[in-house]
Amino acid sequence: MDVFGNALLDYWNGIATENILTYSNLEDSDEIPLEYLFRDYKQMPVLEQKALSLCKGSILDLGAGAGSHSMYLQEKNKAVTALDISKGAAEVCRLRGIKNVFCENLFNHKLKYDTVLLLMNGTGLAGTLKGLGPFLEQLKKLLNPNGQILVEGTDILYMFESDEEDGGYWVPDQVDYYGELRFTMHYKDQTTTEFPWLYLDYNTLARAAQYHGFKTALVMEGPQDNYLAKLSL
């Protein structure tokens, strides 16, 4: 069931009556305002604006969602392609006027780009720490020579209880890495099956990316333990 896409389509058609709710193994619930997914450039965080300013050449907006980043880039006459696995999201991108839209799994995509853009915690698409290696290898296949990946990540260590005695954090033993979460998404009477989502601190991302042949740079840090990183070949 395309819960995310159905919510986006409802909002676009003016019939949305509620926002998306997410539930994870770390917190009870969180709300995703649909209006925010359709934000314009002025409403975007500085970190997103910075990433857009660094895009060059042909651009793949991976996990495009409602297409807000692709819309901005297209309006700036950039050669941008929006890709999302959600049929509803891809349809919304088309309805908004984005010219190049693909609805498919990123592992099935065959075109190459100068920039791959991964915003709104783009590391989440790797799913798990074990999935990070195959994810990076697939991203490498999507890049032209001298290509770059601009990725937003978030270190969620702050969400765990701290140990005042040694300065560490209490992290559950049953996970391989504290940033591996499992989510369900709810909209109206629709609920997704549980899916993995990876929040990744920059140092772990950098080590993995370097192992897979990327050069890494921390471009900027955001106000909510998030960051923008650049991976290049």
> What's the rounded mean pLDDT across residues 182-198?
97
At 169 the pLDDT is 45
Sign of CA dihedral 209, 214, 217, 219: negative
- Per the structure, the complete domain to which residue 73 belongs is given by 3-156+165-232
Sheet holding 58-62, edge to edge: 101-102, 79-83, 58-62, 113-118, 143-154, 226-232, 215-221
Q: Is the pLDDT of residue 24 over 80?
A: yes
pLDDT single digits (tens) 80-135: 999 999 999 999 999 999 999 999 999 999 999 999 999 999 999 999 999 999 99
Residue 46's CATH number: 3.40.50.150
pTM of the predicted model as reported, rounded to 2 decimal places? 0.93
At 127 the pLDDT is 97
Task: Quote the DSSP letter at residue 169.
Answer: B
Cα torsion for 126, 132, 138, 144, to the nearest 10°?
A: 100
Sequence-separated (6 or more) residues with CB below 8 Å from residue 216: 205, 206, 209, 210, 229, 230, 231
Overall number of domains in the chain: 1
pLDDT single digits (tens) 210-220: 999 999 999 99
pLDDT band at 27 (very low <50, low <70, confident <90, very high): confident
Sequence-separated (6 or more) residues with CB below 8 Å from residue 230: 54, 148, 149, 150, 151, 216, 217, 219
Average pLDDT taken over every residue of the chain: 93
